[in-house]
Amino acid sequence: MSLTGPDSVRPEVEAFTPYTPGLSIDEIQARYGLSRVIKMASNENPLGVSPQVRTVVERHAAKAFRYPQGGNPRLVAALARHHGLDVARVVVGNGSDELIDLLVRTRAVPGRHNVVAFTPCFSIYALQSRFCGVELRQARLREDFSFDYEALLGLVDAATALVFVTTPDNPSGYCPPAADLKQLARALPAGCLLVLDEAYMDFAEDESAHSLLPELHAFANMAVLRTFSKSFGLAGLRLGYALLPPLLADYLWRVRLPFSVNILAEEAGLAALGDASFREETLRVIRKGRETLSRGLRAVGCHVWPSQANFLMFRPPADAPPARDFFENLLRMGIIIRPLASYGLPDLLRVSVGTEEENVLFLDACNELARGPAAG
């Protein structure tokens, strides 16, 4: 292998397309000379960080020179108590992204196994499968963005190592009933793991009607992913966790990079789990704001898809600028949302639920654009 020629890296790396993150407030302020920019693009917590978490992080900042305790046992134990599960089922990671990567690398053998998911979907499933040299098969969602289980199962065979399903889904916010997911789990062949990515599940109006987490013990072929990035407000500290069959959890602990969850993230996670009032207020603000945004977007002529997440997917009005121009015009007005071209949906946009003030500013801007300002 050469260090300078086309074969200097693995073929999967040479052809790799990186993840596309949302725009930052700083870069939009600099680009357009704006003094104020609001970000409603990355599904972050509009209330910011819990005051209790902030206090704990400040108190433990002086420990940043220390390595965390191997295996983060206090956090693992707290999560097990939080969900009423055995500690042997819990694995924590540097965001859910690390755990998705670990599942692909521990379960799927390149050239032998495949991974199945819907499309469009969270891009990390596809990126890490391709990086690992594992075949990825994707079934299209129905036109209304609900799940076509028949199409998905049509791609599954005896060599399928993992099936990824995001619920509520990203970018649509669609959330299937738990009964449908039970049927899917039972229909998969032996040796295939169903991975339910529930990053947004706690925003659902009735979590018990949609999540299979309470029944995890009844399915030997199921894993659930959760995150601290959304309702707990810790996106910048990178903390996620997987709830798994105990044997698989043990294997993930064996291969997980040591100390991937840093000492401040661990302390923040513990504090976040203990601040029930902040999380309850977050859920209240999101559910109320989701309804406000949905009603307001429809009022200006947008098509809005039903959502159980902390975001809404919508199409701009027919007489407004097309999605790309709509997005760019919002940027000039100091509002960042998410264009969905990277999901293969160039005509659609996604907006995260913000604070009450941010939601009003966004809807006012949409109303102005819907009246037909010049694009570009």
Q: What is the pLDDT of residues 195-214, one digit of tens each?
A: 999 999 999 999 999 999 99
Confidence check: pLDDT of 6 > 60: yes
Report residue 13's pLDDT band, with 50, 70 and 90 as the boundaries. Answer: confident
What is the value of pTM for the model shown? 0.93
Token couple for 24? 């930052």
Q: Which region among 11-15, 78-82, 118-122, 166-170 has the lowest average model confidence (pLDDT)?
A: 11-15
Domains of the chain: 11-48+277-370 (3.90.1150.10), 51-275 (3.40.640.10)
Q: For residues 276-290, give the mean pLDDT.
A: 97
Yes or no: say if 194 and 188 are a contact pair by the CB < 8 Å rule: yes
Residue with more model confidence, 376 or 174: 174
65-85 tens-digit pLDDT: 999 999 999 999 999 999 999
Q: Is the N-terminal amide bond of 306 cis, ω within 30° of 0?
A: no
Question: What is the overall mean pLDDT for the chain?
Answer: 94
C-alpha atoms less than 13 angstroms from C-alpha of 226 in its C-beta half-sphere: 22
Q: What is the mean pLDDT of residues 259-265?
A: 96
pLDDT, one tens digit per residue, over 36-50 is 999 999 999 999 999
Three-state secondary structure call for residue 296? helix
Cα 224 from chain centre: 13
pLDDT band (50, 70, 90) for residue 314: very high
Confidence of residue 374 (pLDDT cuts 50, 70, 90): very low
- DSSP-derived letter for residue 70 is T
pLDDT bracket for residue 2 (50, 70, 90): low
Give the pLDDT of residue 16.
Answer: 74
Closest to 351 measured CA to CA, from 340, 337, 364: 337
Mean pLDDT of 211-222: 95
User: Is 313 in contact with 120 (CB distance < 8 Å)?
Assistant: no
DSSP calls for 345-370 = -TT-EEEE---HHHHHHHHHHHHHHH
Q: In the prediction, which pLDDT does 18 show? A: 74
DSSP 265: H
